[in-house]
Structure 1
Amino acid sequence: MARFSGAQWRPIPVNFTRGGQDSVHGVVVHIMDGSLSGTDSWFRNSAAQASSHFGTGKDGSLYQWVDTADRAWAQADGNRTWLSVENEGRGGDSLTDAQLNRNAQVLAWAHSVYGVPLQVTNDPNGNGLGWHGMGGSAWGGHTSCPGSAVRAQLSEIVRRAQVIVSGSSGALEPFPGAQWFKNNPVSPIVTAMGKRLVAEGCSAYASGPGPRWTEADRLSYAKWQRKRGFTGADADGWPGKTTWDALRVPHN
């Protein structure tokens, strides 16, 4: 069994092959051409003959419909060796910031569980983060999926996944974005941040440190910000680029 703890488990009873995942070359990004709730309902209908391992909502919701030990029916010949993420939206849409974060989390998880390299690929026989249309007719002929706007965001998904993976080692990488901690209260990067705060002398850091960002953590971070001389918006307990860069640099 392989289920991502960061996703809401919503198993479907039909439209997948049990135990059919041969290996995992990477993660394929799709666009739903509809809503998350509508896709969730459609995948439960045997007439759909379609499914996906994961799905995101524009608001940052993340579902897992199919265990990654099983084969989802998402990209025809690509089903045997690729995981799939359907994203709420329609052709021409870009992914929201929350969706980018969720796709990055799935990719980082696939990297840790299956060794998927953190890179963009346009090769159906390659490895990394791919897109539905790259498989051509063998993958169902959906050459416009997920659209040029989403394809242009694939490198950003990889970058965010690299931040997550780097965070799990206790190192702080470049600032992941203003919304990161609000959209990702549970993340290895929170653990890495906690370790840095402890190294800065914040022995009472609320998480201990741990992987979950809480209001107590925000207050602890605000205390560190003030200790380092920050004021105003730079001392509100939310990471910004200025205070993040200061935390990255060891200070006694």
Structure 2
Amino acid sequence: MARMPGAEWRPIPSNFTRGGQESVQGVVIHIMDGSLSGTDSWFRNPAAQASSHFGTGKGGQLYQWVDTADRAWAQAAGNRNWLSVENEGRGGDSLTSAQLDRCAAVLAWAHQVYGVPLAVTSSTGGRGLGYHGMGGSAWGGHTSCPGSAIVAQLPEIVRRAQALAGGGGGGGSTGGTYTVRSGDTLSEIGQRLGIDWHKIAEANGLRSPYVLQIGQRLTLPGAGSTTYTVRSGDSLSVIGARLGVSWQRIAEANGIRAPYVITPGQTLRIP
């Protein structure tokens, strides 16, 4: 079973092959030719005979419809060996910056979990970040999906995925940053990081009612290293992305070796 932390889990009842994912060569980018909500409804219709592992909205929503241990029905002959990401929009569109971020997050996660290279590929025999049209007739003949504008954005997705997976130090001069995700509150963030949430609020100029926005980057008070308490669904790459620290550095600082297993409640030192 593999569900991506940070993606909203919206399982569909059918239109996929349970346990059918034979391998993961890479991630395939699609265009929905419609809305995220419409695609979500369509995938729940048995008549659709279609699905995708993930889907993004123009505003930055990220859905996971199918567990990556299961085979989604997205690109015909490519289904057995590739993960799929449908993106809200229509032919000729470019992906929004928020969609680029979400696709990069999926690629970075697939890199950590499955060893997918952080590179663009245009070959069905290759590995990395591909697109639906590269599969030709064997992949359903959808050669215009996702369109030339989005294909031209694939290197940018890879660049953002490399930043997520490979690090870059924490922001600010006061000890690091934290990127807000769905469901976060100041008190929960403070508890997981071992920092008084009032100090986080003060460091970021936040006042009652302390409203946070998904994707907002908070400066963390205090110099030097801090700690983070693992919660359900976390992975090293996701924690590193939210804190602006390379997940490899976190692993090294805590003596964690492959397969990089962490458990809820575990306290990690963040360098």
- TM-score computed with the length of structure 1 as normaliser: 0.71
- Structure 2: how far apart are the matches of 1:101 and 1:44? 26
Between Structure 1 and Structure 2, which shows a larger proportion of helix residues? 1
Whether the aligned pair in 1 keeps the contact of 2:55 and 2:88 (CA below 8 Å) is yes
- Structure 1: how far apart are the matches of 2:56 and 2:159? 18
- Alignment correspondent of 2:148: 148
Written as runs of structure 1 = structure 2, the 5 A alignment for 1:47-196 is 47-167=47-167, 171-172=168-169, 185-186=180-181
Quote how far apart the aligned CAs of 1:215 are: 4.8
- Structure 1: how far apart are the matches of 2:219 and 2:67? 37
Whether the aligned pair in 2 keeps the contact of 1:27 and 1:128 (CA below 8 Å) is yes
Quote how far apart the aligned CAs of 1:146 are: 0.2
- Structure 2: how far apart are the matches of 1:52 and 1:128? 17
- Structure 1: how far apart are the matches of 2:30 and 2:111? 19
Written as runs of structure 1 = structure 2, the 5 A alignment for 1:30-41 is 30-41=30-41
For residues 22-66 of structure 1, the C-alpha deviation after alignment (integer angstroms, 9 at most, x for no partner) is 000000000000000000000000110100000000000000000
- Structure 1: how far apart are the matches of 2:203 and 2:62? 24
- Alignment correspondent of 1:218: 204
For residues 113-164 of structure 1, the C-alpha deviation after alignment (integer angstroms, 9 at most, x for no partner) is 0000000000011000000000000000000000011001100000000000
Flag the 1:45–1:222 CA change in 2: closer, same or farther, 3 A.
Answer: closer
Identity fraction in percent: 71
Residue 31 of structure 1 aligns to a residue in which SS?
Answer: coil
Residue 46 of structure 2 aligns to a residue in which SS?
Answer: coil
- Structure 1: how far apart are the matches of 2:35 and 2:169? 35
- TM-score computed with the length of structure 2 as normaliser: 0.66
Residue 95 of structure 1 aligns to a residue in which SS?
Answer: coil
Quote how far apart the aligned CAs of 1:216 are: 5.8
Quote how far apart the aligned CAs of 1:5 are: 1.3
Flag the 1:49–1:156 CA change in 2: closer, same or farther, 3 A.
Answer: same
- Structure 1: how far apart are the matches of 2:203 and 2:132? 39
Q: Quote the RMSD (CA, aligned, Å).
A: 2.8
Whether the aligned pair in 1 keeps the contact of 2:30 and 2:87 (CA below 8 Å) is yes
Runs of 4+ in structure 1 deviating by more than 6 angstroms, as ranges, are none
Amino acid at match of 1:218: N
- Structure 1: how far apart are the matches of 2:202 and 2:147? 41
- Structure 1: how far apart are the matches of 2:203 and 2:143? 45
- Structure 2: how far apart are the matches of 1:86 and 1:5? 18
Whether the aligned pair in 2 keeps the contact of 1:55 and 1:63 (CA below 8 Å) is yes
Residue 158 of structure 1 aligns to a residue in which SS?
Answer: helix
Amino acid at match of 2:38: G
For residues 83-134 of structure 1, the C-alpha deviation after alignment (integer angstroms, 9 at most, x for no partner) is 0000000000000010000000000000000000000000011000000000
